[in-house]
Structure 1
Amino acid sequence: MLAFRLGFLDIGWLDLIDIGLVALLIYQIYNLVRGSVASRVFIGYLLVYFTYLLVKALGLHLLTTILEYFISVGALALIIIFQHEIRRFLLFVGKSTNFVNNRWIRRLVLRKPHTGDSKTPLKPLLETCKTLSAEFSGGLLVLQRNDDLEKFIQSGEVVNANVSKLLLLAIFSQYSPLHDGAVIVSGGKILAARCILPVSEDDDLPPAMGFRHRAALGMSEATDAAIIAISEESGRLSLATNGELHANLSLTELENRLENYLRENRR
């Protein structure tokens, strides 16, 4: 194996690859926790670990032993502190891996047939969004793709009706007992209304962003669904997919993004 000497160290190509991969991993972890209180904990833990490496190299045995105990216990504490960030990372890896997204693998591993939202007509959904936006009526629409949304459906009221503009407007009417929460749509059916969605815990979100948009983003972080959020204050349209929120969209932009995102489902 090719190697070269740096001072008193013999460094090979595998060592350089190892260092590069560790640096990339640390950078990705920092991106996950950046801007939150957890980022300061992460940096503090790194400083303690580098201190441990230094005192170990200097041969300070007592201090090395103390730091070893601290790091071993600290590893468990990090898992507890970063549980949300770890979950986001694993969800990101799971959703972005083609092996996991393969329809045959999903059937074998998840025991769930390919449901998708390819049969859901977009026209009544877009007309509903246009009306809600013009009337400054809030709304939250979840379009199922591949992931099972059964637990979110169970959190609301089962509707199981064909998608129609009039029915959606009736649900989102301020006088309707179903207007709070989200409507879940799949396969041309309104499956449930008044559903509870997970709220994003991203600290980088602007304070002005309301609960409805945080719920849309949180749902897109937890599943591969497409979530449309209509602002009650401004009437603006937003679309959340794959942990990203696309805000202030025109009706045409919303339609194009939805078509492109749902078209990927059929490949």
Structure 2
Amino acid sequence: MFLLRLGFLEIGWLDILDVALVAVLLYQIYNLVRGSIASRVFVGYLLVYLVYLVVKALRLNLLTTILEYFISVGALALIIIFQHEIRRFLLLIGKSTNAVNNRFIRRWLLRQTVADEPVLLLKPILDATKVLADEFSGGLIVVQKNDDLEKYAQSGEPINADLSKALLLAIFGQYSPLHDGAVILSGGRIRAARCILPVSDDADIPAALGFRHRAGIGMSEATDAAVIVISEETGRISLATDGEMALNLNISELENRLQVYLKQPSNRPVRSV
């Protein structure tokens, strides 16, 4: 059934749905590349494609042939150029397809047994973070949410001890052999220390942020963990979640953000890394 007829053009419900879905897709792509160098590359590629359409309509055969070769390899070129944006886009899609991992659906609809999630005590983390910030000691603390962090825990030294302020301070002490790298916390326990985290390659990260901050953002991009970063130079506290970093937090702000993030349902599929 057609809603509108404009000469030879017939517009139906499916056409409207098609246009709406394409508009949403383009809007999401625009949000991913907005303000970055990739956005300029994307605009440049569109301009080349428009020029191709014009020269093809004018029947400039030689120039059309040259541009056709360029356009034909354009998809591969875009994948290489926009690899970081494509990864972010796929993560965005993954965040919206978490139905199978929802505890209610798994327990009541799929009849799967779901164990209660262990409660992580925040007080030892917050107390240790405050001391590290006041003493400009620096630190990198990964708080597990849903994703399995075994791969990253294996890159460091296994601890498997009860979580405590004293132990965290000892690990990040100036003369501790475990000072470098990250500590991974899971289920109220210190799982491992001196762990190696993936470093974000996002070109939009300010140059003033050092290696710890890039590692924190990279970990939050790769997993749903919350990563606390304490700067050794400034003593400032930051929190990375979902590839975004909140800078210059006080202890109260850090506590509130952690409580909200760790309690809210995960927006991404549970992953084993």
Measured against the shorter chain, the TM-score band is 0.7 to 0.9
Q: 1:9 to 1:146 in 2, by over 3 A?
A: farther
Partner of 2:4: 3
Partner of 1:49: 49
| Distance (Å, rounded) in 1 between the aligned partners of 2:28 and 2:236 | 32
- Superposition pairs for residues 143-162 of structure 1, below 5 Å? 143-162=143-162
Contact 2:84 2:202 in 1 (8 A): no
Q: 1:218 to 1:197 in 2, by over 3 A?
A: same
| Distance (Å, rounded) in 2 between the aligned partners of 1:226 and 1:65 | 51
Partner of 1:87: 87
SS in structure 2 opposite 1:45? helix
Q: Residue 99 of structure 1: CA displacement? A: 2.0
Q: What stretches of structure 2 of length at least 5 have no aligned partner?
A: 108-112, 267-273
Q: 1:105 to 1:79 in 2, by over 3 A?
A: farther
| Distance (Å, rounded) in 2 between the aligned partners of 1:117 and 1:215 | 26
Which region of structure 1 is more displaced relative to structure 2, 15-24 or 206-215?
15-24
| Distance (Å, rounded) in 1 between the aligned partners of 2:138 and 2:145 | 23
Q: Residue 95 of structure 1: CA displacement? A: 2.5
The sequence identity of aligned pairs, in percent, is 69
Q: Residue 186 of structure 1: CA displacement? A: 0.3
Contact 1:115 1:146 in 2 (8 A): no
| Distance (Å, rounded) in 2 between the aligned partners of 1:175 and 1:248 | 26
| Distance (Å, rounded) in 2 between the aligned partners of 1:11 and 1:202 | 45
Deviations 1:15-51 (A, max 9, x none): 4443343343233223323344333322222122223
Q: 1:4 to 1:118 in 2, by over 3 A?
A: farther
Partner of 2:140: 140
Tell me the matched-pair count. 260
SS in structure 2 opposite 1:228? strand
Q: Residue 192 of structure 1: CA displacement? A: 0.9
Q: Residue 171 of structure 1: CA displacement? A: 0.8
SS in structure 2 opposite 1:98? coil
| Distance (Å, rounded) in 2 between the aligned partners of 1:100 and 1:215 | 30
| Distance (Å, rounded) in 2 between the aligned partners of 1:166 and 1:253 | 22
| Distance (Å, rounded) in 1 between the aligned partners of 2:245 and 2:59 | 51
Which region of structure 1 is more displaced relative to structure 2, 52-61 or 84-93?
52-61
Which region of structure 1 is more displaced relative to structure 2, 131-140 or 35-44?
35-44
- Superposition pairs for residues 1-267 of structure 1, below 5 Å? 1-5=2-6, 10=9, 12-13=11-12, 14-58=14-58, 60=60, 63-99=63-99, 101-103=101-103, 118-265=118-265
| Distance (Å, rounded) in 2 between the aligned partners of 1:21 and 1:207 | 37
| Distance (Å, rounded) in 1 between the aligned partners of 2:162 and 2:20 | 53
SS in structure 1 opposite 2:145? coil
CA RMSD of aligned residues (A): 2.8
| Distance (Å, rounded) in 2 between the aligned partners of 1:198 and 1:182 | 11
Q: Which of the pair is proportionally richer in helix?
A: 1
SS in structure 1 opposite 2:264? helix
Contact 1:118 1:262 in 2 (8 A): no
| Distance (Å, rounded) in 1 between the aligned partners of 2:156 and 2:105 | 30
| Distance (Å, rounded) in 2 between the aligned partners of 1:20 and 1:175 | 59
Which region of structure 1 is more displaced relative to structure 2, 166-175 or 66-75?
66-75
Q: Residue 158 of structure 1: CA displacement? A: 1.3
